[in-house]
Chains A and B, each alone.
Chain A
Amino acid sequence: MKVFYLMRHCLFVLLALSALTANAQTGSLTGKVLDETGQPLPGASVQIKSIGKSTITDVGGNYKLTGLNNGQFTVVASFIGYKSVERSVAVKGASTANFDLKPDDQSLNEVVVVGYGTQTRREVTGSIARVSGDKIAALPTPSFEASLQGRAPGVQVTQGSGLAGSGSVIRVRGIGSISAGGDPLYVVDGIPITSDPFISGNRGGMNQNPLATINAEDIESIDILKDAGAAGIYGSRGANGVILITTKRGKSGSPVVNFSTKYGLSTYATKPKFVNGSEWLALRQEAWTNDGHTGLATLPQGITWDQARQTNTNWFDLVTRTGKYNEQNLSLSQGTEKLKTYISVNHDDNQSFLKGNSYEKYGFRTNVDVKPTDYFSASVNLGYSKGTNQRVNAAWDGGIGDAMSTALPIYPVFNADGTYWANGANPARSINYVDWKAVDQRLLAGLTVELKPFKNFSVKGIANIDHLDLTEDQFRPKELTGNARGYANRWLNQQINNNFTGTATYDLNFSDKSKLSFLAGIETQSSELNGYPNGIYGDADGPYSKNQDAMYLQMQQMGSNLYYVNGANRTTFASLFARATYSYANKYTVQALMRRDGSSKFGPNHKYGNFPAVSAGWTLSQENFLKDSKVVNYLKLRGSYGITGNANIPPGEYYAKFGNSGSYNGQPVVTPQNVENPNLQWEQLKSIDAAVEFGFLNNRISGEFAYYNKKTSKVLISGGISPSTGFLAAFQNVGEILNEGLELSLNTINIQSKNFKWTTNFNISKNYNKVLSIGNLSSDGILGATNDTRIIVGKPVGTNYLVRYVGVDPADGLPIWLDKNGYQTKTFSLDNRVAVGQVMPDYVGGLTNTFSFKGFELTSLFTFALGGNIYDGSAKRQLGVVTDWNIRTDISDRWQKPGDIARFPRLTMTPGTYPGLSSEWQYNSTMFLYDASFMRLRELTLAYRFPAAFAKKLGMNNTRVFVTGMNLLTFSKYPGGDPEIARDFENPQDRNMSPNVMYLTTPQQKSVTFGLSTSF
């Protein structure tokens, strides 16, 4: 309420001020500000510095400065991203002056968001990659962060899957954590937001992704802070990098309404190929005969041969469809010097290619900036979204996972009587019956008040909230439970983050050339999860969302099994921070920063941590010896060293926790939760960054080359506890990890003529990752959850630890292995597992080419990953021992008779046929380890912008129509489906260690989207 009062108050002041300015002068200056193509530039500033007059151009690029005395004036026209033009103009009565601005590709004055403030590109001494909002909105990814793929060097993005609303794994400059979360910190307009994918665990084979609530169209830009020089200001939360998301704000000028709409169709980008029913039966029979049996092979789940021969169900087709996508955005931007407003509403509906799966979202955002006087300003940001995810089972939980595993082509969908066949996996049955809906509502709100009591000094107070409400309803009717009634679950969670920040900045200008900026701040953050930890559950006749009364009744019956918790996972941080930046003659910049964090996550022994960083930049191109160079337009050296931290573990691990856990025999139950470790503390990252930024030949070639060296110590590892204590793991600070790498980004303007332009943006990063120590823990004690990756000293985080497969013995068709010492053996043993691969690629990058011809623009983005391995955890069942799983067509390359040279051994139904193998699950060998290198045509967009004159006739500006293809082409040697894999994870450790481990993972979508955007 106070906000509105404040706004109204401001409006009064505004009106009063404008009334005062009316007085009589004689001259005026009007004109247009145009861009390099002759299009008007709305929102450009036109300024006469000597008399302190300025204005902003309107939608048509027109400006008018009135109340001038006749005479000669120096007029400056400027616009962000363009070189300012300064010209002397004679004013005599009503005069005219037009300005043509040229884009400034290597704009040193570009404003970069740095955390608690902004800096110009010139002053930046840390490593910051920027991606503009239009690139994020260009792709219809399940969630905005997937659109970062290939856009920024040093930022590896692995999109999870094609499940609607699913997330991606993002790693900034490698991975330096094991059991603590390795995801970067996401900050929206200064609000550190919840991005934890484990609030709902791994329910249904998917991690619910809170980032899906963010509307891509509202994003102005994303700045990724990569090194200590940049991320250091976030101290204990900066070690994995910081992703700063800035939403759009009102721009100066008359009101502009933007509207865009998209419609698209999608399918899976790629899929594994499976044998059909008769082929499956033949393979089964071959295995049976190989095993020395006669007659017909046994068939699973009570299916007879007659039934099997008559059935050939294509389950993959039954669980997929052509996906549909549509999106509408409407926004209003308007601004004066004193009041700027951005309001947007949006709707999008992503009906994925999985039957029954969709994510539909409504969003609203308003950002208001008020500046009634020179010494006071305020801004209010308010973003709300409501998303409804129609869930389906996936991966190990069924659905498309069943279609790739236990739903065999010889199984029927229906029984003869028309009821669903239920003796084995039947994903069609579960899709038909399960009613599963997750609704997320998110409110992101912030209020900033800034006072500038005297020159060069400002104090800011910021209050932010992030409320995320998750309500998930699942209902399984009696047809599925087999009981008298169905079964309903409701999971209710509310994640609340609050933070308060106070900063003071002071700029000390010693001379024109010499400037010291100082920032000091204090911050408190608190977060907690409220809700029913066990949910509400019980026999029911329909989902609770449709029958609240039934839910309330059940809540009464649940007794002590129902309990509400206020403040689960409660965590608080209190911090002090400061940053001092000294720059001299636009050539030298030195920055020092420091943050001191206290956290409730750690006990009295290690409650506080200090995180300092220093950095410096030297702009060589400003030196006399380069100043007039025709070749070198821009050259800057940059370096930083600092310490950041990571505390991304559950709270309360430093003491022994006991928690409620339902009831037994009608009596409440309290259970121990962990093994205490009073000496827990922050993970510590010491990082070095060195880079050169350059621009050559009129800035037609520009880019950056960077080196980094990051050493994480006191790595938080959860493991090493003897299970006979009753626990498997406890957090400890042991271990050291090194990440070292090179990054190159290169932007070139290949052809630039009047009508045609071709530009290329290329980036590539190489990361070298090595575990230096894991203390006293043993490699086999740190598992990537259910996956076959390990932490091994001298090897990268997430090393494939497998038995080496040599090939098939042509004589008997049995597999040949290598033992630990490299000698061939035909006996399989888990003791012969060695480090053989890594899940992280050596190189990742992206290549963007943009061709523009008149109003047409063609953009392509190829993304790639080179090196690294995929471990296919499903292949060991799809290509190993013949069981009740689907079999991939690559089984055709198998041994069938003596003398055969083949990739896969003789078929069998008994693991013991391969000596030493105890079960299908233990068949972990390099037989299923694949090269993970891939390249994909991530984006191909053809756009047409209507000529300004034509658009104007329709009463519109900037009208653009486009068609975008996503993932149209995928190049990979991997035969098991999509080569980009971020499966459903069990916990952060799994997420850190096991991307690129496939287990029935849903492929990504391939889509074509048509769109229109316009403004008026």
Chain B
Amino acid sequence: MKSNIKIFTGGVLCLLVLAGFAGCKKFLDAPPLNTVTKAEALKDEAGVVAVMNGAYQIMNGSILGGKYQVFAELMADNIDGTTLNTDFGEIYNRKTSIFGDYKKYFYQDNYQANYRANTVLENLGVVVNKKDDLEGQARFVRAFAHFVAVRLFAQPYGYTPNNDHLGIPLRLTTEVTPGVRATVKQVYDQIIADLKIAENKLGATNGGYPTKWAAKALLARVYFSMNDFTNAYAYADQVISSGQFTFETDYSKRFSEGQSTEAIFQMINTPGAYDAGGELRSQFRSDINLPTLRFTQQLFSSISSGDARKAWFNNVKYPGLVVTTKYNKERFNVPMIHLTEMKLIRAESAAELNTNLTVAVNDINDIMNRAYGGIRTIPANSSASLIRTTVRAERAIEMVAEGDRLYEIKRIGARGENIDKRGAVWNCPGLALQFPQEEISSNTSFIRNPEGGCN
């Protein structure tokens, strides 16, 4: 009501003093009140923090809360794609075109998270207390966004000897310009540069936000994806040795509300206020209705009956169909990087480097003991090659439905070994998503990816 009266008097005043329109300047200076100007929004530390939170919000909502996993699972070789249609069918069949809203908004929202991170970086001047923390967080998010995009929209690291093949647009400012693809090397260099600053700027604990350990863990994942085992080992080892995270014995805690002791970086669920992992539940949750995304019989049978992880699947509720139970909860946090992955990286890197094999055997036996209840482990003096084979096998089961397998196909492929169970070559064109047509129509010289060719 109050604002009505204000508008009323404003209008009347304007009419009264309308002479020469001068009096109306104020009346016409009436911006919408649900928004503020950029200067107002970013006038102080609280404003910059709120934009930083906006980056996580969209990261979860459109990327890490499910779509990231859906893309990777669809393009890998564990999904039963026989009845998939439309966007999912197109992604599953590894022949995406310039259209498809699911992909378009994924791409845009991922870069929107990046834009918010850049906004934070450009406005650190007003930040007093949390300058280092916010810089670290923003660089972490920027690195993560570029890492997500480059692995889906470009051929992997190692596709060309110098990695001078086309990557994705590098966006390091909030400037609005046409998109131009940088090389994969340029993108990876930037990701590593950002994360190396982040690991120094971020603290050891951060109330649900990225810590220095999160930055190091992401570095481990980045180096591992480059088949740079020395760095991958070093960073995974730092994270594991930090003692901040404890290997847990109960699988059900990985996707839970804050009970996981393994989560190094996770999307936080706040009951009643913010849902994390909505898209995971939409596409995978199987305790209510039949989910759209189901798994192959081949994957199900590859898990031995003595394996506790068999409980991650159900082949009874919907006869003839295999669904995952990993996300059968009303709400949970989404751990994006967890201790189990660090152990898998450390063990495989050690095996590849043929050093620290004892550490590797212990890592893999931790995981195997949890899975097989002490029945199956590998001997202490196992060879590097046995360790590597075992780690890869355990990884395939451990990380199921978490969107990991696709990058293994590509990473191992880049080492000259085709592991795709669907029989495609690791570097076939369709294993890189096509860019959305808006990227192409806003820059007519934008170079698109070749399409299809994976079967």
Contact = CB atoms under 8 A, between A and B. Distances in A.
A533 interface: yes
A664 B289 contact: no
A483 B330 contact: yes
Contacts of A12: none
A872 interface: no
A911 to B, nearest CB: 7
Interface string A904-921: 000000011000001111
Contact of A657 (B11, B18, B37, B443): B37
Contacts of A599: 28
The interface residues of chain A, by DSSP majority, are classed as: mixed
Interface in A711-732: 719-728, 730
B437 A780 contact: yes
A667 B45 CA distance: 13
B32 A665 contact: no
Contacts of A667: 49-50, 53
A302 B319 contact: yes
A257 to B, nearest CB: 36
Contacts of B30: 526, 570-572, 600
Given A670-B50, A781-B438, A659 B34 contact: yes
Interface stretch (B169-177, B190-198, B223-231, B388-396): B169-177
Contact of A780 (B36, B53, B440): B440
Interface string B82-123: 110111011001011111110010011101111110010000
Interface string B188-219: 00000000000000000001110000000000
A644 B37 CA distance: 30
B89 A919 contact: yes
Interface stretch (A348-356, A437-445, A648-656, A837-845): A648-656
A786 interface: yes
A666 interface: yes
B416 interface: no
Determine which residue in B12, B83, B109, B318 has the highest number of CB atoms from chain A within 10 A of its CB, and name it: B83
Contacts of B24: 524, 574, 598
Interface stretch (B56-64, B305-313, B374-382, B403-411): B56-64
A725 B273 contact: no
A722 B445 CA distance: 12
Interface string A384-424: 00000000000000000000000000000000000000111
Contacts of B248: none
B15 interface: yes
Interface string B127-142: 0000000000000000
B253 to A, nearest CB: 19
Given A502-B15, A528-B7, A726 B57 contact: no
B38 A302 contact: no
Contacts of A650: 32
Contacts of B174: 725
Nearest to B3: A566
Contacts of B209: 665
B301 interface: no
A512 to B, nearest CB: 37
Interface string A554-582: 10011111000111111111101000000
Contacts of B47: 670
Contacts of B56: 664-665
A528 B31 CA distance: 10
A30 interface: no
Interface in A537-567: 538-539, 554, 557-561, 565-567
A673 B57 CA distance: 14
Interface string B286-304: 0111100000000000000
A778 interface: yes
A963 to B, nearest CB: 47
Interface string B9-32: 011101100100100100111111
Interface string A506-543: 00000000000000001011101110010000110000
A378 to B, nearest CB: 18
Contact of A722 (B32, B60, B438, B451): B438
B21 A598 contact: yes
Interface in A456-493: 482-484
A755 interface: no
Given A500-B12, A574-B28, A607-B28, A724 B439 contact: yes
A671 B116 contact: yes
Contacts of B87: 919, 921
Nearest to A300: B83
Contacts of A919: 85-87, 89-90, 93, 97, 100
A297 to B, nearest CB: 10
B50 A669 contact: yes
Contact of B272 (A530, A554, A568): A554
A561 B38 CA distance: 21
Given A524-B15, A652-B31, A727 B57 contact: no
Contacts of A651: 31-32
A777 B451 CA distance: 25
Contacts of A538: 272
Contacts of B8: 498
A522 B31 contact: no
Contacts of B33: 528, 565-568, 570
B280 interface: no
Nearest to A502: B15
B330 A484 contact: yes
Going nearest first, the 5 A-B pairs with the smallest beta carbon separation are A482-B288, A567-B33, A726-B115, A658-B41, A919-B90
Given A524-B14, A574-B28, A911-B90, 13 more contacts: A522-B15, A526-B7, A557-B272, A576-B21, A657-B37, A658-B36, A664-B57, A664-B270, A665-B268, A778-B441, A830-B99, A912-B93, A919-B100
21 contacts: A528-B32, A561-B273, A574-B21, A574-B24, A655-B31, A656-B37, A657-B36, A658-B41, A662-B273, A662-B274, A663-B274, A667-B50, A669-B50, A670-B50, A672-B119, A722-B438, A725-B115, A780-B437, A912-B95, A918-B96, A922-B97
Interface of A: 298, 300-302, 304, 422-424, 482-484, 496, 498-500, 502, 522, 524-526, 528-530, 533, 538-539, 554, 557-561, 565-574, 576, 596, 598-600, 607-608, 650-652, 655-673, 675-676, 719-728, 730, 777-781, 786, 830, 881, 883-884, 911-912, 918-922
